[in-house]
Amino acid sequence: MIRYILRRILMMIPVMLGVTLIVFTMMYITPGDPAQIILGDNATPEAVAKLRAEMGLDDPFLVRYFRFVKDLLRGDLGICYATKQPVFDRLIQTFPNTVKLAAFAVVVSTIMGLSLGIISAAKQYSLFDNIAMLLAMMGNAMPNFWQGLLLMLVFSLWLGWLPASGFSSFKHMILPALTMGTSSAAVLARMTRSSMLEVIRADYISTARAKGQTEFKVIMHHAFRNAMIPVITTIGLQFGRQLGGAVLTESIFAIPGVGKMMVDAIKARNYPVVQGGVLLIALSLSIVNLVVDILYAYIDPRIKSQYK
Amino acid sequence: MERGRLRLIALLLCAVFLLVGCGGSGGETTTENGEAAPARDTLIVGMDREPAGLDPASSHVTTAVMIFNNIYDTLLAFDTDMQIQPRLAESYEQLDDVTYKFNLRKGVKFHNGEELKSSDVLFSFKRLYDIPAAQGQVDMIDPNGFECPDDYTFILRTKEPWSALPAQVCSSYMNILNEKAVTEAGEDYNRNPVGTGPFKFVSWTPGDSIVVERFDDYWGDKAILNKVVFRIITETTSRVIDLESGGLDIALAVGVTDVERLQNNPDFELIQFTHTGIRYGAFNCSKEIFSDKRVRQALNYATDVDTIFNVLYDNGLGAMRADSPVIPLLPGRNTDLPKYEYNPEKAKELLAEAGYPDGFSVEYNYLANTTNTRLGEMLQAQWAEVGVELIMSPLESATLTAALNAGEHDFCTANSTYALGDTIEGLYSFFHSSMHGTSRCRAFLSSPEIDALLDEARVEQDEERRLELAYKIQELIHEEAPWIYIAYEYYNVGLKSDVKGFVPAPNSAHDFSKVYIEP
Amino acid sequence: MGTNLNTVTSKPLPVYKKRSQGAEIWRRFRQNRNALLGMGIFFILVSFALFAEIIAPYDPIQQNYEKIMQPPSRQHILGTDELGRDIFSRIVYGARISMTVGLIAVGIAFVAGTALGVICGYYGGVIDNVIMRFVDILMAIPAILLNISIVAALGTGLQNVMIAIGVSNVPRFCRIIRASVMSLRDQEFIEASRAAGATDFFIIIDHIIPNSLAPLIVQATVSVGSSILQCASLSFIGLGIVPPTPEWGAMLSTGRDFLRKAPHLTTFPGLAIMAAVYAANLMGDGLRDALDPKLKR
């Protein structure tokens, strides 16, 4: 097992290098000149050319890429073109917000997904089952930015319960987390439902029923526990997805997160920030996936035996 | 066995969530002032863009200009009627064609306690030559012509006679910095500004807010508010909802569609003002098709600007109809220009005359926002009537800027401000052939006649004669038709009705020192 | 954003005789009311797309400045938009774009993902390792950022949007089919075929792919929905389909500026997107249940 984990961690290194190479290439072929953007509207072409040279933007692709990798290996992510801060600082400022948001969104989707899924499974093919699944999917089918604005209209403007935007207190997190959480509730609800259904048909459930336990007890004590295994991994994967998917929600709710920063950076050709941000998100996604895999192996000994 | 394992996993998961939650909520990312219920002496302003930095030489977006104006002072400054007034310089005089003498105010304190000396002015101006983003600002000023005869006198010289010098001194790039503060902070200065303005910088949470507080040793009338929080909310819809739901005291850059509702709501006030910009469509005259002025005129005739104006600006709720390249705020505006009335027949005639009886296709490069998209869709429908096909080609902002600067576009639209708030300087940057490839010059016009007049006007010292020339230049430009004038847009600011004393500045340098919240 | 109903169990299914299997699946599918609802919605949208000229009462790009942002009325059942165009007609024509984006983007992902996945699963070894690392790389970059960078690099427009969305969906298909190929490749009937002298190509086309199809179909179905959402997100960022082509995401994104003044500008395109994604998800779920005999009652 330890060997497996070590191998996975080692394997992340080429993957992360690959991520930087892909992002670097993509930024390279994208038109647009960071020097021009930094200098703004009033800059003379000479000044732009001079700055380009200073920034090393005129160097060939490979030279620039290897310079980047060399710095990276020394732990230097470069300096943000826009704010002149080290990219590392910018990530430290924004990443925790995104993590908080993603975690909260996962809590929301877990609560919604699990409850809808369990009830659906308990009452399979009932009207409730149908309605619950339809509801769960509603959040998934709605474009996030629209949903966010509607939530803001209802809960901030009309009801006045929650602040509309910003990220300075727990209250501020509710609407964005709801926006993001509802979109993955459906995945969890479906997973929970089908996993519960599988378990419910198992022999020991019939035994429990035969022993005369109440239906509620059967569902909660026996079925739910065993159905949780795939559900937990799904929750883990959702967390990873939310980390990378908070972009539009962050824009709508004015949250200083890493997603919004990245989109701004792509638009401004702020290469170091794009690189650093993608690398950080990719790394956290990989780590989350690894943790999920380890958990999964831990739960299911059959899988564990494959990890040699 | 099975049960124990599950419990462990559940615990692990909880631990991960908790860690994650705590790790984030360490507090370093929250502003002290994002709360919905502000203290009565704290003003919360929602703004549409985040400045890249607070070094006046680094950033020039409107919101940065606004914050600079509250943290720093310039030697001279535009008032809200775009008249030049003394600020840190009590007075100034022009000694000869190229020499200006500024008499500095005495006893002015920087936020770090240092006193303003002429050496700070010298330092603030000299450093601009070394900063690529600002070099254009000191193009006309002689780097060897500065003098500091004493601590309160400062002399500068222009390279050649240049009548826009006082306006240049008002530019936000020319804010006065403290030499010691800049030197000490080094690279960090961009995020730790020190000025002489009515507010001093407190904190900046990137992507979230910039906080400033009253500077008690301000040389002029001290600010009434204790604190101003500038929050960054880029989505217009969100910003206005935040204002209306009580999260903001002031929302900048309110959209046209929200104007009427806020006007009719007694809890809010809506202030509209013209800023120093004009919205226009520009033909790229360096492209073969548009090198013929008949084609440009034809498309002017083919455009029903009145309708476009009414649709885009809600029948005048959001802008004034443009009828000249010069904005109404500035002197020398020629209002006698004949209009290009909507006339598809005439347009077709002109096109046929120019050798395009069957029309042609034009690519429209733009940034995909609602205004540009609607504008393009309307032009597309209208030009189709005269056989011209407009191909919409949205680009993402960095690509667009590069393409426009390189003159790769056929046609584009823009909302440009007047350089230095000056008629001639503005026209020069839009139409002089030496400006090709710079950001305001989208039409790539090359007219020796216009060039000559602009050159003459630029050095002309006599204001009257300057305005005469401006008048003449506009006639020529109108005839050349490199632009389709569309509108002078209003800038809309929404305020809670208990916010008083906000007077908008056309150049976006809004002053918050006089603002207060009515108890 | 990036959350879609895309986690699909990748277990290969037992192989049945073809015809009876199809009939059996259809029987199970039919019993699922939600799936039928999804299919119903999907057919409506497809017929919008196919017969837009007949169904739409107005030209979707014909502007009418007299009738800007009118609320729904008898003449314009869903009202008019910010340039006086009939919203219903635009939604009908928009179905064409959204369906095209959904189907072609998924098609790209399906073909590329399947090809890569089959090669990985069938040959294993170094090729597998190399391709899978590449897939890991793609998966490690969040879909929306990948989409934005690809469109920024290639330029806006329908074609590039479809390529971007297609590329970001490749890894999922690849992983699904790889897993199912790996478990198939050592089964007896494959070995028998190989012993009989069949080429790899023949074995892949004739045996491996047909037998791995079930989870792929489910994935493809739900991916149509998520692609439509991805396309809408790109429009929000200003990198979507070029106007005046009526596209739901662009309509929704433009309409948000008028959210307060004329909510119908966003409501109807929003509902259209929801309906399409919904339909895809319901059908995907129904297919999944129908294809998985374990859930049979």
Domains recognised in chain C with CATH numbers: 21-57+79-295 (1.10.3720.10)
Provide the pLDDT confidence category of residue C61 given band limits of 50, 70 and 90. confident
C63/B370 touch (CB, cutoff 8 Å), yes or no: no
Provide the pLDDT confidence category of residue A225 given band limits of 50, 70 and 90. low
φ and ψ at residue B43, rounded to 5 degrees: -110, 135
Specify the DSSP element, H or E, that contains B452.
Answer: helix B448-459
Query: Identity (one letter) of the amino acid at B406?
Result: A
Alpha-helix runs per DSSP H in C1-124: 18-31, 33-50, 52-55, 87-123
B398/A32 touch (CB, cutoff 8 Å), yes or no: yes
Looking at residue B250, what is its pLDDT?
94
Contact A243, B24 (CB under 8 A): no
Contacts of C214 (CB under 8 A, 6+ apart): C12, C13, C291
* Number of domains into which chain B is organized: 1
Lowest mean pLDDT among A186-195, A295-304, C249-258: A295-304
Q: Is the dihedral of CA B35, B39, B42, B44 positive or negative?
A: positive
Q: Which of B133, B242, B405 sits opposite A164 (nearest CB)?
A: B242
pLDDT, one tens digit per residue, over A151-174 is: 998 988 888 888 888 887 888 888
Looking at residue B72, what is its pLDDT?
93
Under CATH, which number does the domain A96-305 receive?
1.10.3720.10
Q: Which of C7, C34, C278 sits opposite A187 (nearest CB)?
A: C7
Q: Which of A15, A143, A278 sits opposite C232 (nearest CB)?
A: A143
φ and ψ at residue B487, rounded to 5 degrees: -160, 155
The domain ranges of chain A are 96-305
Residue B417: both structure tokens together: 């401000």
Nearest CA in chain B to A97: B24
Contacts of C240 (CB under 8 A, 6+ apart): B368, C156, C161, C231, C232, C234, C247, C249, C250, C253
Going by the DSSP 8-state scheme, the letter that residue B8 receives in this structure is H
Q: Which of C68, C155, C254 sits opposite B370 (nearest CB)?
A: C254
**Cα–Cα distance measured from residue B49 to residue B47, given in angstroms and rounded to the nearest whole number:** 6
3-state secondary structure of B492: strand
**Cα–Cα distance measured from residue B194 to residue B71, given in angstroms and rounded to the nearest whole number:** 7
Contact A144, C256 (CB under 8 A): no
**B482 in any annotated domain:** yes
Looking at residue B499, what is its pLDDT?
92
Nearest CA in chain A to C237: A248
**Cα–Cα distance measured from residue B230 to residue B71, given in angstroms and rounded to the nearest whole number:** 13
**Cα–Cα distance measured from residue A116 to residue A120, given in angstroms and rounded to the nearest whole number:** 6
Contact B160, B141 (CB under 8 A): no
Lowest mean pLDDT among A62-76, B35-49, C40-54: B35-49
Give the residues across from C129 on adjacent strands: none
Q: Which mean pLDDT values do the consecutive 10-residue runs of chain B (519 residues) have?
A: 46 44 37 48 91 82 89 90 89 91 91 91 90 81 91 92 88 90 87 92 90 92 92 90 91 90 92 87 92 92 92 87 89 88 92 90 88 90 92 84 87 86 89 86 91 90 89 92 92 92 87 89
Contact B213, B202 (CB under 8 A): yes
From chain A, the residues in CB contact with B247 under 8 A are: 156, 163-166
Provide the pLDDT confidence category of residue A304 given band limits of 50, 70 and 90. low
C173: pLDDT strictly greater than 80: yes
Query: Identity (one letter) of the amino acid at B139?
Result: D
Going by the DSSP 8-state scheme, the letter that residue A197 receives in this structure is H
3-state secondary structure of B42: strand
Which of B303, B289, B286 minimizes the C-alpha distance to B433? Answer: B286
Q: Which segments within B369-470 are labelled E, that is strand?
A: 389-395, 411-417
Specify the DSSP element, H or E, that contains B210.
Answer: strand B209-214
**B263 in any annotated domain:** no
ipTM above 0.85, yes or no: no
Contacts of A26 (CB under 8 A, 6+ apart): C149, C150, C152, C153
C254/B261 touch (CB, cutoff 8 Å), yes or no: no
Looking at residue B75, what is its pLDDT?
92
- For chain A, the first-to-last Cα distance in angstroms comes to 7
Looking at residue A303, what is its pLDDT?
52
Specify the DSSP element, H or E, that contains B230.
Answer: strand B227-232
CATH (domain of B447): 3.10.105.10
Looking at residue A300, what is its pLDDT?
60
Whole-angstrom CA distances from C151 to B78, B391, C148, C240 are 43, 18, 5, 9
Contact B262, B315 (CB under 8 A): no
Q: Are strands B209-214 and B227-232 parallel, antiparallel or unpaired?
A: antiparallel
Contacts of B437 (CB under 8 A, 6+ apart): A45, B405, B406, B407
φ and ψ at residue A287, rounded to 5 degrees: -65, -45
Query: What percent of chain C stands above pLDDT 70?
Result: 91
**B76 in any annotated domain:** no
**Cα–Cα distance measured from residue B204 to residue B209, given in angstroms and rounded to the nearest whole number:** 6
**Cα–Cα distance measured from residue B307 to residue B315, given in angstroms and rounded to the nearest whole number:** 9
> Average pLDDT for residues A190-197, to the nearest whole number?
79
Contacts of C153 (CB under 8 A, 6+ apart): A26, A29, A30
Q: Is the dihedral of CA C28, C34, C40, C45 positive or negative?
A: negative
> Average pLDDT for residues A95-104, to the nearest whole number?
90
Q: Which domain holds residue B483?
A: 277-489
Looking at residue A269, what is its pLDDT?
85
Residue B55: both structure tokens together: 């070094």
Query: Identity (one letter) of the amino acid at A81?
Result: Y
Q: Are strands B227-232 and B42-47 parallel, antiparallel or unpaired?
A: parallel
Looking at residue C6, what is its pLDDT?
42
Query: Identity (one letter) of the amino acid at C164?
Result: A
Q: Which of A107-121, B54-68, B341-355, C206-220 has the highest mean pLDDT?
A: B341-355
Looking at residue B448, what is its pLDDT?
92
Measure in Å the smallest separation between the Cα of B409 and chain C Cα atoms: 15
**B100 in any annotated domain:** no
Q: What is chain A's Cα-based Rg?
A: 24
Residue A27: both structure tokens together: 């930024």
Lowest mean pLDDT among B333-337, C60-64, C182-186, C222-226: C182-186
Q: Which of A51, A235, A260 sits opposite B207 (nearest CB)?
A: A260
Contact A285, A100 (CB under 8 A): no
Looking at residue C145, what is its pLDDT?
87
**Cα–Cα distance measured from residue C3 to residue A140, given in angstroms and rounded to the nearest whole number:** 8
Nearest CA in chain C to A134: C34
Residue B227: both structure tokens together: 């604190």
Greater pLDDT, A258 or B134: A258
Query: What percent of chain C stands above pLDDT 90?
Result: 14
Measure in Å the smallest separation between the Cα of C282 and chain B Cα atoms: 30
> Average pLDDT for residues C1-8, to the nearest whole number?
41
Among residues 64-83 of chain A, which lie with CB inside 8 Å of chain B? 82-83
**Cα–Cα distance measured from residue B339 to residue B481, given in angstroms and rounded to the nearest whole number:** 11
Among residues 229-258 of chain A, which lie with CB inside 8 Å of chain B? 229, 232, 235-236, 251-257
Query: What percent of chain A stands above pLDDT 90?
Result: 1
The DSSP secondary structure of C144-198, one letter per residue, reads: HHHHHHHHHHH-SSHHHHHHHHHHHHHHHHHHHHHHHHHHHTTSHHHHHHHHTT-
Q: How many CB pairs under 8 A join B and C?
A: 66
State chain A's mean pLDDT as an integer.
Answer: 82
C261/B392 touch (CB, cutoff 8 Å), yes or no: no
3-class secondary structure per residue, B259-288: HHHHHCCCCEEEEEEECCEEEEEEECCCCC
From chain A, the residues in CB contact with C259 under 8 A are: 149, 153
Contact A147, A139 (CB under 8 A): yes
3-state secondary structure of B460: coil
